[in-house]
Amino acid sequence: MSYELRVLTKDRKEQFEQEGYLIVKGLFTDVDVRIIEETFDIISRQAIPGHFEPLLDADVNDPLARYPRVMHPHRFNDTAKSYMLHSPVLDVLRDLYEEEPLAAQSMFYYKPPGSRGQTLHQDNFYLKVEPGNCIAAWTAIDAANEENGGMLIVPKTNHYDIVCPDQADQQESFTTHYVKPPKDQKAIPAVMDKGDVLFFNGNLIHGSYRNKSKDRFRRAFICHYANASAAQIGEFYRPLFRADGTEVDLGINPDGGPCGILFDMAYPH
């Protein structure tokens, strides 16, 4: 039985399958973006143990110490959960998966001026969705480009195997894992406006630039999803959620992946 696309054209679906990514313009309205901005502005002024632990009062040189990423905000904030389950996003994911998507993770990045970027990596190294794969939905809350630390993608590496990463340069990256692109592939910028969403495959090699701007944040709301037919996922991403908000408990994937059990594979990005 063939799948009938609901919101994507055949060409857009083929682009995702061939290139490993797709940018959908304006998938979040100005009102959506403003609500997300206001929600995470409130969150930025407090500490939430296990989710957001900034150094609120310290005089620190690293802007990410004051504005670290928010992990799993859907677990403590209803607005974050509602946007993790945003219908326009789920509609695109349904076409990409050709089945129902399950929401596994949410994150929010403030990325203030001067922040380090994130070195190239692959998401399904961490989520370990099997069978199938994870897909990320990366929503620009600020316009993002090379100057303020926008996304880098390596097209067609969705066909590249998940590999054990090397050590990253932590002068430039706030994370430690680095995946070297194939010799014939180069990272390119994903230039985005507010409300645009970048969807990408869990094997796609991607990262982000350092924020070199003097006064521009590069805020982003990022969620990861699994296909409903998946049987396993990494334990840190459970429970998952259907579109109606009900929980789904996939099995825990015990596989150490290409690195065996030597790496802590919790929480990408």
Instruction: Name the average pLDDT for the chain.
Output: 94
Q: pLDDT tens digit string along 212-227? A: 999 999 999 999 999 9
Q: pLDDT tens digit string along 15-32? A: 999 999 999 999 999 999
SS3 content of the chain, % helix, strand, coil (to 5): 25, 25, 50
| CB atoms closer than 10 angstroms to residue 233 | 28
The pLDDT, as a whole number, for residue 56 is 84
Q: Which two tokens stand for residue 191?
A: 């230039």
Instruction: Return d(Cα 112, Cα 67) in angstroms, integer.
Output: 7
List the one residue out of 61, 60, 43 whose CA is nearest residue 52.
Answer: 43
Determine the average pLDDT of the residues in 220-249.
98
Q: pLDDT tens digit string along 101-144? A: 999 999 999 999 999 999 999 999 999 999 999 999 999 999 99
Question: Is it the case that residue 265 has pLDDT exceeding 70?
Answer: no
Q: Which of 54-58, 61-65, 102-106 has the highest mean pLDDT?
A: 102-106
Beta strands in 34-178 (DSSP E): 70-71, 101-109, 118-121, 134-140, 151-153, 166-167, 177-178
Q: Which residues contact 230 (CB under 8 A, 6 or more apart)?
A: 102, 129, 130, 131, 132, 250
Question: Is it the case that residue 268 has pLDDT exceeding 60?
Answer: no
Q: Which long-range contacts (CB under 8 A, 24 or more apart) does 145-148 make?
A: 145/189, 145/191, 145/192, 146/189, 146/191, 146/209, 147/211, 147/212, 147/213, 147/216, 148/111, 148/113, 148/211, 148/212, 148/213, 148/216, 148/217, 148/218
Domains of the chain: 10-45+64-254 (2.60.120.620)
Determine the average pLDDT of the residues in 177-205.
96
Length of the chain: 269
52 strand-pairing partners: 48
| Contact call for residues 241 and 260 (beta carbons, < 8 A) | no
Query: Number of helices and strands (H, E) in the chain?
Result: 6, 16
Beta strand 232-233 with 251-252 is parallel
